[in-house]
Chains A and B, each alone.
Chain A
Amino acid sequence: MSAFQRQILLPDFGAAGQEKLSRARVLVVGAGGLGCPVLLYLAAAGVGGIGIVDGDTVSESNLNRQVLYGPDDIGLPKAEIAARRLREQFPNTEFEALPFFMDVENALETIARFDVVVDGSDNFPTRYMVNDACYLLQKPLVQGAVYQYEGQVAVFDAQRGRSTYRDLYPVPPAAGDAPNCSETGVLGVLPGIIGLMQAAETIKCITGVGQPLLDKALFYHFKNASFFEVEIAPHPDAQAMMPANEAAFRAMHYADACERVQDILWTEAQALLERRPETLLLDIREEEEGPNVHVRSRRWPMSRLLQDASELTADMPLVLFCRSGVRSRHLAGVLQKSGRHTQVYSIEGGLQHPLSPIHHSVTHG
């Protein structure tokens, strides 16, 4: 008796379908609200290899929808926690934790190692980058996204279909057009539903059972339980918007089109410093604002960085802090816009935040 007996029994699926699943390697981009249900159900179905790419850590507000994590995981890297939990439950699948954010430097080599890509990321730069990379590498892409009470699912496959995400939306919206989940509300079941639809489409792509949502986009509305499906027609500008080859892909500035600064907590900054020792922790306060407060930080006043930031090694992850978190947020935006850094964080609340090292030394001695 196999764990997959009940799906092998299905007409059209059978042992051949199971064999295809067990040989397939799927990359799940983002182990969040969409990624968690995708991962759980693809693993349960017996997909042979699953890569989990996510550079984020678990935070408390994730727990209403990111069902692979619990309170004890707060502050820990999602990709590693997800892989650990899934390995315990699904011995037939090989899991690979990829605890980093996708960028133009690592996207192509990462995606190339997989057969199908499932995008459950939470921002437009990643969505456009993954779309373009999948098109260049001719990999099927199963896309899902949510906004408040609504979700959308689509499948793009350069080999079997004729459209990409850019035929639906040629260029990313301006920042603020469509805020992400951390800024707007989301009910946990919605990404659950959309994520499971992505898992279903992925299984269809791999096994050939049924017709995937190829060249179509399916919209779902939670409030009236309604679906709306549209057919995607090729957009005349879509090709021109995409990088034509791998070198052009590496030169793209996806974050520019829709940059947003990521605020992190002191605890998350600490975790990042441990996980990626090359991370530079920058104290951007002016010299006269008091002594250094963190053993790992380097003092680099904002006034100096605004004039010349070329001394900062390109592509090194940067974590900025100041007194209250306002200036560091602004400067993080400037540095991100420069295109030399893909990972720039600002510590929320700066040194005034209760978790800051200053408060620690005050309260604990």
Chain B
Amino acid sequence: MTTQPTIQLLAFGIVAEKAGSSRLSISGVSDTEQLLEALYQQHPALREVRFAIAVNRKIVHENTPLQADSEVALLPPFSGG
């Protein structure tokens, strides 16, 4: 049996604002889909926000496997000028 890792998340902009912190952690997930599910459960306000996901500093658009040392960033668009 494998133990599922705790993933460290970096939240930017309005994502950090809605989640209450720029550093979040999610346990018991092994890919980005599970991570989003757990994230929405912990922070329902994030459902209303659109953001891109980067794993190890690469934007991912498909479900992506995560390891304990994966660095995940939640990057919303900014519009201010």
Contacts and interface: CB of A to CB of B under 8 A. Distances in A.
Interface of A: 30, 32-35, 120-124, 127, 144-148, 150-152, 167-169, 171, 173-174, 177-181, 184, 186, 191, 217, 219, 221, 228-233, 235-236
A146 B80 CA distance: 5
19 contacts: A30-B81, A33-B80, A123-B79, A144-B81, A146-B78, A146-B80, A146-B81, A147-B76, A152-B78, A174-B48, A178-B78, A180-B80, A181-B80, A219-B12, A219-B75, A221-B12, A230-B73, A233-B61, A235-B61
Interface in B60-81: 60-61, 73, 75-81
B52 A169 contact: yes
Contact of A191 (B76, B79, B81): B81
A228 B61 contact: no
B77 A169 contact: yes
B79 A124 contact: yes
B80 A233 contact: no
Given A145-B79, A168-B59, A233-B61, A173 B13 contact: no
Contacts, number: 103
A interface, over-half SS: loop
Contacts of B81: 30, 32-35, 120-123, 144-146, 180-181, 191
Nearest to A121: B81
Interface of B: 10, 12-14, 17, 48-50, 52, 54, 57-61, 73, 75-81
- Enumerate the 5 nearest inter-chain pairs by beta-carbon distance, A residue then B residue, closest first: A122-B81, A145-B78, A147-B78, A181-B80, A146-B80
Contacts of B73: 228, 230
B61 A236 contact: yes
A231 B78 contact: no
A73 to B, nearest CB: 18
B55 to A, nearest CB: 10
B65 to A, nearest CB: 16
Given A122-B79, A145-B81, A147-B78, A233 B60 contact: yes
A179 B81 CA distance: 11
Given A169-B50, A169-B52, A231-B59, A177 B14 contact: yes
B56 to A, nearest CB: 9
A229 B49 contact: no
B80 A230 contact: no
Contacts of B49: 173, 177
Given A124-B79, A178-B76, 10 more contacts: A34-B81, A144-B81, A147-B78, A148-B13, A148-B17, A168-B77, A177-B48, A217-B59, A219-B75, A235-B61
A122 B48 contact: no
Contacts of A148: 13, 17
A122 B81 CA distance: 4
